[in-house]
């Protein structure tokens, strides 16, 4: 009996020791290796869910309905709670986000992120200048002007359109041939490849208002999910109110800076699911 009780105690303590080791091991394992992060771009118009074809009112009081809302985000870097920065390899993270007719917005996933708690999420709106002057072989996927990137590339200027917003508004001038009143905002310009020119690439840095972090763990775990609100009407307000009546079409012109200054603040991190 005594032997048995000793044996029991021994086994129990051995079990406890093993357990604690394995717990430690498990804890270490959580913060080693790599995991993924999902980012959802949820499109709004004036705080409402964006629906293509539905009418909204901009800050200038003009009615607008949208047929297209599309933009590039790229060059992501993620800041851990301790302040260290993980830069996502550039070629893994060129995303073209587009409002779809079925209302399904883009959710993108970034893999191979070192496990850790991330408090800040940085990216640029647009395509960086290096990629904008790269050879054809480096323009694949969403950057392929003959593929997924069609309609987001200026052939005459070899640059990408960063943000494209099109639709109709009673405030826009009448196209007598088509019988429509359309507005077109194609905003790009990466700063020039030989001499500095207008640069409409904007840096965005987002963190949760309540201090929540994204807990990236190794691939056995569910990927944390950032829920971003992207309000298309923010393009028309902010540092500069844009009137469809005054500027129904803005493309590669100096005025495009005004829309770029507005879209810088278009992205809001609403919450994080872990």
Partner 1 sequence: MRHLLGLFILITILSFSCTTEDTNAWRGLEIPAHFPDPVFQVIVSEKGFELGRKLFYDPILSRDNTISCGSCHIQGSAFSHHGHDVSHGIDDRLGSRNAPAVQNMIWNSSFFWDGGVSHIDLISVSPIQNELEMDESFVNVIRKLNLKEDYRKLFKEVFGTDSVSGAYFLTAMSQFMSMLVTADSRYDRYVLGDATALDAVELEGKQLFEQKCASCHVGVLQSDFSFRNNGLKSEPFRDGGRYHVSLIESDKGKFKVPSLRNVAITAPYMHDGSLRTLESVLAHYALGVQKSSTLDPELEKNGVIGIPMSTEERTAIIRFLHTLTDDKFIRDPRFSEP
**At its nearest, how many Å lie between partner 1 and the CB of residue 70?**
15
Q: Which stretch binds partner 1 (CB under 8 A): 12-20, 71-79, 136-144, 202-210?
A: 136-144
Does 130 sit near partner 1 (CB under 8 A)?
no
Does 178 sit near partner 1 (CB under 8 A)?
no
Closest to partner 1 by CB, 44 vs 252, is: 252
**At its nearest, how many Å lie between partner 1 and the CB of residue 178?**
16
Does 144 sit near partner 1 (CB under 8 A)?
yes
Does 96 sit near partner 1 (CB under 8 A)?
no
Q: Hey, what are 179's tokens? A: 């019988």
The correct pick among 55, 157, 218, 247 for binding partner 1 (CB under 8 A) is 157
The correct pick among 7, 87, 253, 271 for binding partner 1 (CB under 8 A) is 253
**At its nearest, how many Å lie between partner 1 and the CB of residue 164?**
16
Does 205 sit near partner 1 (CB under 8 A)?
no
Touching partner 1, residues 41-70 (CB under 8 A): none
Does 195 sit near partner 1 (CB under 8 A)?
yes
Does 133 sit near partner 1 (CB under 8 A)?
yes
Kindly report the CA angle at 200 between 194 and 206, in degrees rounded to 5?
130
Q: Which stretch binds partner 1 (CB under 8 A): 55-63, 105-113, 189-197, 216-224?
A: 189-197
Q: Which residues bind partner 1 (CB under 8 A)?
A: 132-140, 144-147, 150, 153, 155-158, 189, 192-195, 197-198, 252-254
């Amino acid at each position: 009996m005594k032997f048995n009780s000793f044996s029991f105690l021994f086994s129990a303590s051995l079990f406890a020791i093993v357990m604690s080791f394995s717990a430690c091991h498990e804890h270490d394992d959580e913060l080693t290796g790599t995991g993924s992060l999902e980012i959802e771009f949820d499109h709004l118009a004036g705080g409402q869910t964006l629906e293509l074809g539905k009418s909204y009112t901009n800050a200038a009081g003009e009615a607008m309905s949208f047929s297209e809302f599309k933009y590039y985000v790229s060059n992501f870097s993620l800041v851990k709670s301790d302040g260290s920065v993980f830069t996502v390899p550039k070629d893994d993270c060129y995303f073209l986000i587009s409002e779809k007719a079925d209302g399904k917005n883009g959710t993108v996933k970034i893999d191979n992120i070192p496990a850790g708690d991330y408090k800040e999420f940085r990216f640029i709106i647009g395509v960086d200048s290096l990629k904008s002057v790269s050879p054809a072989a480096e323009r694949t996927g969403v950057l392929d002007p003959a593929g997924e990137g069609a309609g987001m590339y200026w052939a005459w200027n070899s640059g990408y359109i960063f943000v494209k917003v099109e639709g109709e508004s009673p405030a826009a001038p009448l196209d007598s041939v088509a019988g429509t009143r359309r507005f077109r905002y194609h905003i790009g310009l990466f700063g020039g490849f030989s001499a500095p020119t207008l640069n409409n690439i904007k840096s965005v840095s987002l963190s949760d208002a309540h201090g929540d972090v994204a807990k990236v763990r190794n691939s056995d775990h569910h990927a944390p999910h950032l829920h971003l609100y992207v309000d298309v009407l923010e393009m028309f307000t902010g540092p500069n109110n844009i009137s469809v009546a005054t500027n129904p079409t803005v493309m590669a012109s100096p005025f495009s800076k005004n829309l770029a200054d507005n879209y810088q603040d278009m992205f809001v991190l609403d919450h994080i699911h872990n």
